[in-house]
Amino acid sequence: MIARMLLTTIATLAIAAPAMAQGAKVTLKSASGAEVGTVALSEGPHGVLMRLALKGLPPGEHAFHVHAVGKCEPPFTSAGGHFNPTAKKHGMMAADGQHAGDMPNLIVPASGDLQAEIVNTAITLEKGKPNSLYQQNGTALVIHAGPDDYKSDPAGNAGDRIACGVVE
């Protein structure tokens, strides 16, 4: 329920965001190499708006994170840990704040298809900034098999990585 409220709240904030400046596109693929969706990223005044168009994912709740390495070789451990330029603990429930790569869980309906909008206020697309998605080793977006519990450090007990895409 909390995840749905967070996703709804964040999506509502995203709709109110003014025109975006720079952007990027991520193609998410499964471990078998099948395309399972795209994410369009746009820089806004309050963070990065992510417009997700996903297809063919297992129904249910799935963790969605920014990872610290722009490499997506199955089983996607090549994407490294969560993007965490400020050395915070994991999870939206962390007392001192969360990783920059922490985001709300995705709730995929029975069809396996989902369109959603999320704003991550802790990241930017501006090159040269510590919280930029354009790092020397790149960054990646990852969807996990299970939900993020929003508290277990370092990764939210979210399970295997089922989809990955490099931020281009």
Active-site position among 46, 62, 96, 102: 102
The one catalytic residue in 96, 99, 113, 149 is: 99
Residue 6: strand, helix, or coil: helix
The active-site residue out of 4, 46, 62, 67 is: 67
Name the 3-class secondary structure at 119.
strand
Of 4, 46, 62, 65, which is the active-site residue? 65
| 161 given a catalytic annotation | yes
**29 backbone dihedrals φ, ψ, rounded to 5°:** -130, 150
Catalytic residue (choose from 82, 113, 149, 153): 82
Q: What is the dihedral of CA 25, 167, 131, 81, to 10 degrees?
A: 140
Q: Is there a catalytic annotation at residue 46? A: no
User: Which residue, chain included where needed, has tokens 């994991």?
Assistant: 90
Q: Which one is catalytic: 96, 144, 153, 160?
A: 144
Question: Is 82 part of the annotated catalytic residue set?
Answer: yes
| Active centre residues (catalytic) | 65, 67, 82, 90, 99, 102, 144, 161
